[in-house]
Amino acid sequence: MSKNMKKIVVILSLTLILAIAMGSLVVAYAGGIRGIGLIGVWFFLTFGIIVVLAQVIPAGILLTSFLKTIFTPYRESEVPVRAI
C-alpha cells in the first residue's frame, strides 16, 4: 500500500469514527442525558457501534462469499442451483 493510500485510509477511518461519535452524542443529548453522564453514554454508544461494525462487516463478507459459492456453478456449462 502506497503512502498516499495509507493517508486516505486513515482520513476515511477518522471521518467514520467522528461521524459515529457525533451521531451518538446527538442521540444521547436528545434522549435527555445531560452533564457528566452524557460523556459516558457517548463513549458507550460510539464504541458499541464501532465494535458492532467490526463484527458485522467481516461476517457480511463471509456470508456473501458463502452464498456465492452455493449459487454459482463451478463450470460455465453447469446450471446453478436455485433456491425454492
- What does the CA dihedral 71, 73, 78, 81 come to, rounded to 10 degrees? -10
Lowest mean pLDDT of 2-6, 16-20, 61-65, 78-82, name the range.
78-82
Residue 59 C-alpha cell reads as 461476517
- Which comes out higher in pLDDT, residue 7 or 45? 7
Kindly give the residue spans of alpha helices, DSSP state H, lying in the chain.
Answer: 3-30, 36-71
Instruction: Report the alpha-carbon distance of residue 50 to residue 41 in Å, rounded.
Output: 14
| pLDDT per position as a tens digit, 23-74 | 888 888 888 888 888 888 888 888 888 888 888 989 999 999 888 877 776 6
Within 10 A of 29 (CB to CB), how many other CB atoms are there? 13
Residue 31 C-alpha cell reads as 434522549
